[in-house]
Amino acid sequence: MTGIRALPYPFPLRRGELALIVIDMQRDFVEPGGFGESLGNDVGRLSAIVPTVKRLIEGCRAAGIPVIHTQECHRPDLADLPPAKRNRGNPSLRIGDQGPMGRILIAGAPGTAILDEVAPLPGELVIQKPGKGAFYATSLQDELRKRHLSQLIVAGVTTEVCVQTTMREANDRGYECLLAEDATESYFPEFKAATLDMIRAQGAIVGWTASVDTILEALDV
């Protein structure tokens, strides 16, 4: 067993049990004119990491590491969308409404699509999730068990919401998680910084963090 240089200490890499999970790199969150921007957010912070996420994905593919993608989205009839989620705040557009990229966060809508630069290849697992975490109301745990995977490199957006929620869900289920620090981002830089601190506090209470360069170096790509 080898390790990946990480904080708060080396990540105990087991290559045969490792996968990359890329959280919600969707047009509605990252591109101008999408849902994220309609909420008043600077999507430029998220779009800036796209090349780094792409490099991480391509490196993992080259190393034979399975790549899993997630999409936050709901059924067209909104049966899986709790009113508390749709109605929170006072946005100009709500989930299910017609936006510039089709119905917001509805499965199959153009805005729900994963960005072309980091799109799944044929055969790669795509998890459509109705919540923030990738385990809630999805088949992710069954898919990981089927593939005998127990470790996850985590990337994507946003750091403090869907990424952190997924890591905490995974942690409770016994998975070891390594967050790629420069392949995740938040609309709020202080939220990202706080999340990184929380994840690796108290001896990696939720998981480890490392740069993409360090991760790819350990994977020999």
Q: Answer yes or no: 182 catalytic.
A: no
Q: Answer yes or no: 73 catalytic.
A: no
Identified catalytic residue from 60, 73, 162, 177: 162
What pLDDT, in 10s, does the model give residues 58-98? 999 999 999 999 999 999 999 999 999 999 888 889 999 99
Whether 109 shows a pLDDT value over 60: the answer reads yes
Provide the pLDDT confidence category of residue 1 given band limits of 50, 70 and 90: low
- pLDDT of res. 63: 98
Q: Answer yes or no: 60 catalytic.
A: no
Q: How far apart are CA 111 and CA 100, in angstroms?
A: 8
What pLDDT, in 10s, does the model give residues 24-69? 999 999 999 999 999 999 999 999 999 999 999 999 999 999 999 9
Which pairs count as long-range contacts for 118-126, CB under 8 Å and 24+ apart, including other chains?
A: 118/22, 118/25, 118/50, 118/53, 118/54, 118/57, 118/69, 120/67, 120/69, 121/61, 121/67, 124/66, 124/67, 124/68, 124/69, 125/66, 125/67, 125/68, 125/69, 126/68, 126/69, 126/70, 126/71
- pLDDT of res. 90: 86
What pLDDT, in 10s, does the model give residues 134-144? 999 999 999 99
Identified catalytic residue from 60, 73, 129, 192: 129
What is the pTM assigned to this prediction? 0.97
Q: How far is CA 189 from each of CA 74, 115, 178, 196, rounded to the nearest angstrom?
A: 28, 22, 20, 11
- pLDDT of res. 221: 86
SS3 67: strand
